[in-house]
Structure 1
Amino acid sequence: MTSTPRPARRAAVLGSPIAHSLSPALHRAAYQALGLRHWSYGRYEVDEAGLAGFLAGLDPDWAGLSLTMPLKRAVIPLLDEVSETAAAVEAVNTVVFTEDGRRLGENTDIPGLVEALRERGVRHVERAAVLGAGATASSALAALARICGGEITAYVRGPARAAEMRGWGERLGVPVRTADWADAHRALEAPLVVATTPAGATDALAAAVPDAPGTLFDVLYAPWPTRLAAAWEAREGRVIGGLDLLVHQAVLQVELMTGIVPAPLKEMREAGETALVTRPG
């Protein structure tokens, strides 16, 4: 007796630029570990102008999408429902398609950041510092709202970004104080420091790492380690990198899209580590 083949299921990551994304390696590793041979995961270069057309062209085989910049906010008007977590920071990095064709928006960066911290033993801190502003910083504030019992200080460049971070704090119910980037070396004294800045932005801070640092969460994963992360480890501080965040948010995406819990964290992390080592450049 021949078994009926299961219908194909598709997912992908969208963004611009997108060639650097590690999401295909992570999701494909999950499908292999879970025995989902009828699932595939692709990568598509899509900008804001092309997003609505891309979504309109999808057939019922599609289970979900991972979104990176610049689509996390642009997708919101195109969705049928957005979770409270995603709405809180106006950023959707995951779209799940229901059987009746509805588009549901979620943000797995925030709980992914929390899970990455918990995995390394950081479940609660009395205060924290955030380096930088922008979309990743707002997600960091939302995550810190779940584990930080006191004040969060955001070190930013310029009054406009300072006002933006204070606004996010008010919206998220988090006490946020802002300080000028020129004083960013003072952030390193906090028990938890979350660096959300582009590559190279924190290099000058490496010389200011204290003798007994707490925990550094640097959201970058390439190049790795950053100078700040290397200096932090040299002083025996706890360091969590961007790959940890990438893997944990992808685990949650796989669970949302496939309905299978838990997703294979170990296999997905190994796939991400291999992809980083073997990627061009």
Structure 2
Amino acid sequence: MQLKAAVIGQPIAHSKSPALHRAAYRALGADIDYRLIEVAPADLADFVAQIRAEQNWSGISVTMPHKASMLALVDARDADVQRTGALNTVLVDPADGRLLGRNTDIIGIVHALRHAGVASVQHAALIGGGGTARAALAALKQLDCQRADVYLRDPAKGGDLAELAAVLGLGLTLRPFAEAADPVTGAGAGAAELVISTLPPGVADPLAEALRGTGRGSNLLLDVAYDPWPSRLAHVWSESGGAVVSGLEMLLYQAVAQVAAFSGCDLAGREDVINVMCDSIGLPER
């Protein structure tokens, strides 16, 4: 029986997940039909009920705006989801149809940064405070990060991030969004050795010009937004002398983990599969 899988969100037309997954399943010989499905927030519960009823689903890739609301619709959550309160993956148990929430964004961020040569980081800055920021904090902990500054429109609403950082044993300072672009004092995001922007596409554009000049040769920016690429933020950062990691790198590595989970195939050492995934979205082979 052919299995189904999909990426869901709204908007969703820009997603490169179908290209990644379809390339991988062809290379693996896995009979999985991976689709792109736009699901409005009001329709999410009905969509999940449909998946349970059809009984031929392998998994779902979950993107905005469903990463938080999907939490209440799964039957179980793995340790990363329980810890961070964020998921981007739902596995369907073939035995009983139960839904398991997972978070592959964490491993996606870790592997993207390691591929860029980051073995560890002492001081990082996060821009934005949504589900991806929560995954980024967990990823930073895996990279032995000691402290992080998080820039939010309203720092008073960052209590959940502060609680997560305390659980992770990570020093955290919540700062106003405007302070991220403070090149004069050096206290802005450019002062950190690693900056991760978790903002959706286009949202960081007003910040980009203000950040001009804060990037330094040793500083690294990971911008999770990849459409369009380069983002305005990535362009300005690179112009200022900083190094940039594309959000496509994160997308690739989180998809590798999803493909392994959805197909049941061990991708350890399968550079052939990873390389066809790279080709599918225009990344250099590993």
Same fold (TM over 0.5): yes
Percent of aligned pairs sharing the same letter: 40
Residues 251-275 of structure 1, C-alpha deviations (whole Å, 9 max, x = no match): 110001111121622211221239x
Aligned equivalent of 1:243: 248
**Residue 142 to residue 106, structure 1, CA distance change in 2 (3 Å):** same
Q: Any idea what the Cα deviations from partners look like across 1:70-91, whole Å, max 9, x if unmatched?
A: 2222222222210011122222
1:267 to 2:263 alignment: no
Pair 78,260 (structure 1): closer, same or farther in 2 beyond 3 Å: same
For 1:187, give the aligned amino acid: A
Q: Does 1:90 align with 2:48?
A: no
Instruction: Give how far 1:211 is off.
Output: 4.1
Query: Does the 8 Å contact 1:26/1:250 carry over to 2?
Result: yes
Q: 1:9 matched to which residue of 2? A: 3
Where do residues 220-259 of structure 1 align in structure 2 (5 Å cutoff)? 220-259=225-264
Question: Residue 140 of structure 1: CA displacement?
Answer: 1.1
Instruction: State whether residues 155 and 175 of structure 2, in contact with CA within 8 Å, keep that contact through their aligned partners in structure 1.
Output: no
The answer for unaligned runs of 5 or more in structure 1 is 1-6, 275-281
Shift of 1:248: 1.0
Q: Take 2:172 and 2:248, find their aligned partners in 1: how far apart are those partners?
A: 26
1:18 matched residue in structure 2: 12
Map 1:162-173 onto structure 2 (within 5 A). Answer: 162-173=158-169
Question: By how many angstroms is 1:132 displaced?
Answer: 2.0
**Structure 2 CA distance for partners of 1:226 and 1:209, relative to 1, 3 Å:** farther
Which one of the candidate residues 127, 133, 141 is aligned to 1:145?
141
- Other structure's SS at 1:223 match: coil
Aligned letter for 1:204?
A: E
**Contact 1:209 1:231 (8 Å CA) reproduced:** no
- The root-mean-square deviation of aligned C-alpha atoms, in Å, is 2.0
Task: Please tell me the residue identity of whatever aligns with 1:217.
Answer: L
Q: How big is each residue's C-alpha offset from its partner over 1:227-254, in whole Å with a ceiling of 9 and x where there is no partner? A: 3322333455331111111111111100
Q: Which moved more, 1:208-217 or 1:141-150?
A: 208-217
- Which residue pairs with 2:184 in the alignment? none
Residue 49 of structure 1 pairs with residue 49 of structure 2? no
Query: Offset at 1:210?
Result: 4.0
Q: Secondary structure at the match of 1:19?
A: coil
What's the TM-score, normalizing by structure 2? 0.86
Structure 2 distance, partners of 1:51, 1:60, is 17
Aligned counterparts of 2:227 and 2:83: Cα–Cα separation in 1: 28
Q: What TM-score do you get using the length of structure 1 for normalisation? A: 0.87
How far residue 162 of structure 1 moved from its aligned partner, in angstroms, is: 4.1
Whether 1:65 and 2:60 are equivalent positions in the alignment is: yes
- Counterpart AA for 2:92: F
Q: 8 Å contact 2:215–2:238 — kept in the other structure? A: no
Question: Conserved in 2, the CA contact under 8 Å of 1:206 and 1:227?
Answer: no
CA offset at residue 45 of structure 1? 1.8
The number of equivalent residue pairs is: 267
The match for 2:33 is 40
Query: For residue 133 of structure 2, what is the amino acid of its counterpart?
Result: A
Q: 3-state SS of the aligned residue for 2:68?
A: helix
AA matched with 1:24: P
Q: Answer yes or no: is 1:193 the counterpart of 2:186.
A: no
Q: Is the 8 A contact 1:162 1:179 kept in 2?
A: no
Any idea what the Cα deviations from partners look like across 1:12-51, whole Å, max 9, x if unmatched?
A: 1112222222111111111112122x22111222233322
Q: Which amino acid aligns with 1:46?
A: V
Give the Å deviation of 1:164. Answer: 4.3
* AA partner of residue 21 (structure 1): S
- How far has the Cα of 1:99 moved from its partner? 2.0
1:217/1:62 CA distance change after superposition, 3 Å? same
